[in-house]
């Protein structure tokens, strides 16, 4: 895989949990990393960084944000379940603004932080792949379905390629039994993003973001061209996680792939 760095790479969501991690890890992917979020970020540490505060819901601001950029790692937005109204601006309008700006500025590659919550209503004893019908578990999951469809449309209509990563649970370590299956280490996430950025001819590829965990529910056969080979496994954390009290067998966290998200809301 050729990994000639981009000149300027945009990372949205740079003030977030994953954004802070990726700020360091994406340095080798571009000469200049443009970091953006609605929240304040640490100042640029040198000429290889640009820090731009921006609300994804603001179309004109996103247009300016994308000017001069060669590729986009789109991780910004609401990242858990909220009311539809709270999700609308950052995740629905926001993803449209990103793709419209990409079209206008000639950006050809996007990495979209999708989520396992696009398929969260599958049960934990079911095996699925990227072509399985989606079963969103939340307004949040619906917004990620919309983002994936936006990516598909902008490829078919305008040739902008996207890798949509249906991230499982990307944290330093799995926090509960469900995450023994859904956990994605930061190293494996970084590998997925790099492969998404530098693999040629990805069209719109959907890939599940999980490490090489013992009990994985997701089959990545339709993303084999990315060559993603996870290196980590949640197994080392199993003893600590299984020392936690056992939830009831009918607890959504034990039944559904999306865990507790399936039972969030309503919001009125």
Q: Does 16 bind ligand NAI (CB under 6 A)?
A: yes
264: exposed, middle or buried (C-beta count within 10 Å: 0-12, 13-18, 19+)?
Answer: middle
- Interacting span for ligand NAI (CB under 6 A) from 53-61, 130-138, 219-227, 243-251: 53-61
Distance of CA 225 to CAs 40, 174, 203, Å? 37, 28, 11
**Binders of ligand NAI: how many residues, by CB under 6 A?**
26
Q: Of 7, 28, 45, 80, which lies in the binding site for ligand 15L, with binding defined by CB under 6 A?
A: 80
Residues 66-85 that bind ligand NAI (CB under 6 A): 75-79
Q: Which residue in 140, 154, 208, 228 is the catalytic one?
A: 140
Q: Which two tokens stand for residue 267?
A: 């919001």
- State which residue has the least CB distance to ligand NAI: 16
Distance of CA 196 to the CA centre of its chain: 11
- Catalytic annotation on 122? no
Q: Please state whether 202 falls in left (phi above 0), alpha (psi between -120 and 50) or beta.
A: alpha
Q: Is 37 helix (H, G, I), strand (E, B) or coil?
A: strand
Q: Does 169 bind ligand NAI (CB under 6 A)?
A: yes
Q: Residue 115 or residue 162: which is nearer to ligand 15L going by CB?
A: 115
Q: Which two tokens stand for residue 1?
A: 């895989």
- Interacting span for ligand NAI (CB under 6 A) from 123-131, 167-175, 235-243, 252-260: 167-175
CB of 78 to ligand 15L, least distance (A): 9
Closest alpha carbon to 93 in 136, 55, 38? 55
Distance of CA 229 to CAs 210, 213, 236, 244, Å? 10, 12, 18, 30
Q: Which two tokens stand for residue 232?
A: 């980590």
Q: Does 143 bind ligand 15L (CB under 6 A)?
A: no
Distance of CA 113 to CAs 4, 12, 39, Å? 22, 10, 18
- CB 37 within 8 Å of CB 53: yes
Q: Does 117 bind ligand 15L (CB under 6 A)?
A: yes
CB of 235 to ligand NAI, least distance (A): 19
Residues 156-195 that bind ligand 15L (CB under 6 A): 169, 182
Per CB under 6 A, residues contacting ligand NAI are 13, 15-19, 37-39, 55-57, 75-79, 89-90, 94, 113, 115, 167, 169-171
Per CB under 6 A, residues contacting ligand 15L are 79-80, 115-117, 169, 182
């Amino acid at each position: 895989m050729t990994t000639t760095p981009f000149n300027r790479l945009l990372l949205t969501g740079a003030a977030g949990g994953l954004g802070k991690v990726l700020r360091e890890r994406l340095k080798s992917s571009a000469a200049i990393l443009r970091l953006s979020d609605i929240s304040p970020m640490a100042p640029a540490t040198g000429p290889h960084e640009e820090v731009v505060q921006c609300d994804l819901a603001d179309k004109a601001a996103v247009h300016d944000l994308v000017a001069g950029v060669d590729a986009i790692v789109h991780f910004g937005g609401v990242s858990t379940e909220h009311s539809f109204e709270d999700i609308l601006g950052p995740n629905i309008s926001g993803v449209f603004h990103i793709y419209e700006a990409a079209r206008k500025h000639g950006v050809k590659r996007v990495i979209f932080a999708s989520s396992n919550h696009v398929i969260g209503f599958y049960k934990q004893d079911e095996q699925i792949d990227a072509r399985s019908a989606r079963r969103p578990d939340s307004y949040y999951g619906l917004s990620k379905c919309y983002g994936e469809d936006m990516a598909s449309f902008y490829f078919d209509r305008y040739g902008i390629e996207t890798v949509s990563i249906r991230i499982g649970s990307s944290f330093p370590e799995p926090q509960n039994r469900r995450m023994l299956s859904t956990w994605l280490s930061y190293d494996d996430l970084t590998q997925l993003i790099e492969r998404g950025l530098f693999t040629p001819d990805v069209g719109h590829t959907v890939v599940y973001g999980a490490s090489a965990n013992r009990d994985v529910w997701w089959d990545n056969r339709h993303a084999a061209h990315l060559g993603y080979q996870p290196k980590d496994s949640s197994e080392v954390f199993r003893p600590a996680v299984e020392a936690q009290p056992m939830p009831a067998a009918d607890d959504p966290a034990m039944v559904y792939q999306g865990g507790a998200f399936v039972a969030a809301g309503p919001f009125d």
